[in-house]
Chains A and B, each alone.
Chain A
Amino acid sequence: MSDAPLLEVRDLRTWFELRQWGFLRVGSVRAVDGVSFELARGEAVAFVGESGCGKSSLARTLLGLHRPSGGEVVFEGQDVAGLAGAALKRYRARVGYVQQDPYGALPPFMNVRRLLAEPLIVHGVMDRAERERRIRAVLEEVRLAPEEVLHKFPHMLSGGQQQRVVIARALILAPHLIIADEPVSMLDASVRVEILSLLRQIQRERELTLAFITHDLATVRHFAERLFVMYAGRIVEQAPVDELLDHPLHPYTQALLAAIADPDADNASRQREIPPGEPPSLVKPPAGCRFHPRCPHAIAGHCDRDEPPMLAPRPGHGVACWLHE
């Protein structure tokens, strides 16, 4: 196995055009705006950030569902933008997708057997017995009893079971990379840990790369090795997960961590410190550092003018903030 990264993302941009009356261009939503990172083979990483900061758009661009407006996505040495036909199909088989909403992810009119057979048929597995063997194997891998679920339709399964089927479908073509977009946010708190543990275990056993997107900083330590914090379409901080949670450097990351409650009866008697205002418009993002209108440490005349580059004040720890120059 080579040491080359599995995935290299350089200065990636995904902008959505805003049109009035269907044709007049009035601007763009810069959902992903200059994102760069590398993923090694066999590592598990997480992306965190507020709603609307561009996490799903990033995931969908990596999956080839959105065409990048700029920058590069290089997977196993190949530029993904140039792929077409059979090569694109092969790429899609190499990257599995666990989508945000399990309730919407599964077509209601297909039973589990049919659902899992579909990607195999599309990718040319024509032998019925072979398909059945692979379907049963993957169901067992996600801890579902094949006999119990094969004939069932999605509405007959609990949320946790549905999400296991979604994971099975993402695994069935033996991908090298799994992108999981908030795989548990729609599920009950009591089954979240179970599903995340399952994903992490499969990732280790199969030695695949797992990139998951989450709001939930409290669980991230247990399910990822590296962490990326996104704000308004950009990565603002990145580090190994323990380093980042124990020494957060970006004021936005610090705010996110301060907003998290551990269960404690004293919480009820104090107001939580949160940054004022809301995440900025991605159509006209603020000049300079995008967090400056909400940042308690903003340096006037600097932060509101100059965009901070990714700095490395501690080994392996990147932060885009002028305080760490």
Chain B
Amino acid sequence: MDVPPLLEVADLRLTYRTSRGPVRAVDGVGFDLRRGEAMVVLGESGCGKSSLAKALLRLLPRNAEGLGGQVRLAGEDVLALPEERFRAEVRWTRIALVMQAAMSALNPVVRVGEQVAEPLRVHRGWSRVQAMEQAARTFALVGVASDFLQRYPFELSGGMRQRVVLAMALVTEPEVVILDEPTSALDVLTQAGIMNVLKRIKAELGTSFILITHDVATSSELADRVALMYAGQFVEVADAADFFAHPAHPYARLLMASVPRLHQAERPVHIPGQPPSLLAPPAGCRFAARCPQRFARCDQDPEVFASGARHRVRCWLHADTVGCGEERTASRTLRPGGEGR
């Protein structure tokens, strides 16, 4: 239990300035991720998943402000690094991101091999030959034949393009790879093929993954850990086995009941209502308007409670489940660690 986590995130915040006021897209997010572990971030459209990814990589649009909190990578707070050092030492080389819809953003007039080799030449200063050799190795890793190095994006199927985009993120052998909705646009067989590749890379290279998706069933293909996001905050973080079998937060329970299953006779239910605006989130619990278990206390902002080792829930219903005195003073954000302290 003494292995320090690879990535420790605490109280991460990101706000966008808009003409109608600040949008708090990431509002006090915390978690930890171990080496070789995959954490899935689940949540409805607009809850802040992509913004979280951008915050971790410090890839911010112009109207972003108030990026704050801590992001410790192997113990070092990389959020505090000056931009030049972050660019040189962290972004793409130690933490890489496959952006949402990246496969449609491939440069149509450059051969895909060159595009995969590019990060090595730009960020590592490798020679063309060296970089192409590494690109070929990475193609093999993601299951693309090496003669595809010479092809253009339009000559590839959707599944192959997604593998190329994955190769682009893996070519620098980063420790953490963030994938934003990598398979949402693909059909079941292609999707299963990509998930197989990710599982193999995780097992063979010990890469840590953060997989962002709104598809619960697909998320279970990779997840060791699950984080459920709602209106800019994590409302539950748990081991995948716990989360899928015994979701604790009322939103998590509704979400699991809404997942269609192949051999289930009853029609899945849908979660009534809509998430709140991040422009002016309601006081108290942000899920209250849709929560079937709401009670008087929910008018106050719920604290984060520990309902087991490495299991955190932001909901008043779990106020009694706290095991030890130290965790009773649970912070207002999901802080990393816990059981080892």
Binding site for B on A (CB under 8 A): 50-52, 158-159, 188-191, 193-194, 197, 215-219, 221-222, 245-246, 255-257, 259-265, 267-269, 271-272, 274-275, 278-279
Q: How far is the CB of B277 from chain A (nearest CB, A)?
A: 12
In the bound complex, what is the Cα–Cα distance between A82 and B241 (angstroms)? 59
In the bound complex, what is the Cα–Cα distance between A279 and B158 (angstroms)? 12
Chosen A-B contacts, 8 in total, with CB atoms closer than 8 Å, are A215-B187, A222-B260, A262-B220, A263-B220, A263-B256, A268-B38, A269-B199, A272-B192
In the bound complex, what is the Cα–Cα distance between A262 and B241 (angstroms)? 13
Contact present for B245 and A265 (CB under 8 Å): yes
Question: Knowing A255-B189, A263-B220 touch, does A190 contact B262 (C-beta < 8 A)?
Answer: no
- B residues 209-266 with Cβ under 8 Å of A? 214-224, 239-241, 243-245, 255-256, 258-263
Contacts of A274 in B (CB 8 A): 189, 192-193, 196
Contact present for B214 and A264 (CB under 8 Å): no
| Residue of A193, A263, A267 ringed by the most chain B CB atoms within 10 A | A263
In the bound complex, what is the Cα–Cα distance between A219 and B262 (angstroms)? 7
Q: How far is the CB of B80 from chain A (nearest CB, A)?
A: 33
**B267 interface residue per 8 A CB criterion:** yes
| Residue of B223, B262, B267 ringed by the most chain A CB atoms within 10 A | B262
Q: How far is the CB of A195 from chain B (nearest CB, A)?
A: 9
**B270 interface residue per 8 A CB criterion:** yes
Contact present for A189 and B216 (CB under 8 Å): yes
Question: Knowing A190-B44, A261-B220, A265-B223 touch, does A245 contact B258 (C-beta < 8 A)?
Answer: no
- B residues 183-219 with Cβ under 8 Å of A? 186-193, 195-196, 199-200, 214-219
Contacts of B59 in A (CB 8 A): none
Question: Knowing A190-B258, A217-B262, A257-B262 touch, does A222 contact B192 (C-beta < 8 A)?
Answer: no
Q: How far is the CB of B224 from chain A (nearest CB, A)?
A: 7
**B74 interface residue per 8 A CB criterion:** no
| Interface residue total, chain B, C-beta cutoff 8 A | 50
Contacts of B262 in A (CB 8 A): 217-218, 221, 245, 257, 260, 262
Q: How far is the CB of B246 from chain A (nearest CB, A)?
A: 11
Question: Nearest CB to that of B274 among chain A residues?
Answer: A158
Contact present for A190 and B189 (CB under 8 Å): no
Contact present for B187 and A218 (CB under 8 Å): no
| Residue of A51, A188, A257, A268 ringed by the most chain B CB atoms within 10 A | A268
**B289 interface residue per 8 A CB criterion:** no
Question: Knowing A261-B217, A264-B220, A271-B196 touch, does A190 contact B188 (C-beta < 8 A)?
Answer: no
In the bound complex, what is the Cα–Cα distance between A216 and B274 (angstroms)? 24
Contacts of B223 in A (CB 8 A): 265, 268
Contact present for B220 and A268 (CB under 8 Å): yes
Contact present for A218 and B217 (CB under 8 Å): yes
**B159 interface residue per 8 A CB criterion:** yes
Quick one: which of B159, B260, B269 contacts A218, CB cutoff 8 A?
Answer: B260
1/0 per position for B148-172, CB-CB distance to A under 8 A?
A: 0000000001111000000000000
Contact present for A259 and B188 (CB under 8 Å): yes
Contact present for A159 and B188 (CB under 8 Å): no
Contacts of A257 in B (CB 8 A): 262
Quick one: which of B157, B196, B200, B271 contacts A52, CB cutoff 8 A?
Answer: B157
Contacts of A52 in B (CB 8 A): 157
Quick one: which of A260, A262, A271 contacts B188, CB cutoff 8 A?
Answer: A260
In the bound complex, what is the Cα–Cα distance between A317 and B255 (angstroms)? 35
Question: Nearest CB to that of A262 among chain B residues?
Answer: B261
Contact present for B219 and A217 (CB under 8 Å): no
In the bound complex, what is the Cα–Cα distance between A93 and B71 (angstroms)? 58
**B268 interface residue per 8 A CB criterion:** yes
| Known contacts A262-B217, A267-B221, then 18 further A-B pairs from the complex at CB < 8 Å, ordered by chain A residue | A50-B189, A52-B157, A159-B45, A190-B44, A217-B262, A218-B260, A218-B262, A219-B268, A262-B261, A263-B219, A263-B220, A264-B220, A264-B244, A268-B221, A268-B224, A274-B193, A278-B160, A279-B157
Q: How far is the CB of B226 from chain A (nearest CB, A)?
A: 9
Question: Knowing A188-B45, A256-B188 touch, does A265 contact B241 (C-beta < 8 A)?
Answer: yes
Question: Knowing A257-B262, A262-B217 touch, does A222 contact B267 (C-beta < 8 A)?
Answer: yes
Q: How far is the CB of A203 from chain B (nearest CB, A)?
A: 15
In the bound complex, what is the Cα–Cα distance between A264 and B245 (angstroms)? 8
In the bound complex, what is the Cα–Cα distance between A262 and B187 (angstroms)? 16
Contacts of A264 in B (CB 8 A): 220, 244
Q: How far is the CB of A189 from chain B (nearest CB, A)?
A: 5
In the bound complex, what is the Cα–Cα distance between A271 and B221 (angstroms)? 9
Contacts of A194 in B (CB 8 A): 270
Contacts of A245 in B (CB 8 A): 262-263
In the bound complex, what is the Cα–Cα distance between A285 and B282 (angstroms)? 57
Contacts of B217 in A (CB 8 A): 218, 260-263
In the bound complex, what is the Cα–Cα distance between A267 and B261 (angstroms)? 14
Contacts of A272 in B (CB 8 A): 192, 195-196, 221
Question: Knowing A197-B270, A278-B159 touch, does A50 contact B220 (C-beta < 8 A)?
Answer: no
Q: How far is the CB of B222 from chain A (nearest CB, A)?
A: 5
| Residue of A189, A260, A264, A267 ringed by the most chain B CB atoms within 10 A | A189
Quick one: which of B190, B258, B268 contacts A51, CB cutoff 8 A?
Answer: B190
Q: How far is the CB of B156 from chain A (nearest CB, A)?
A: 10
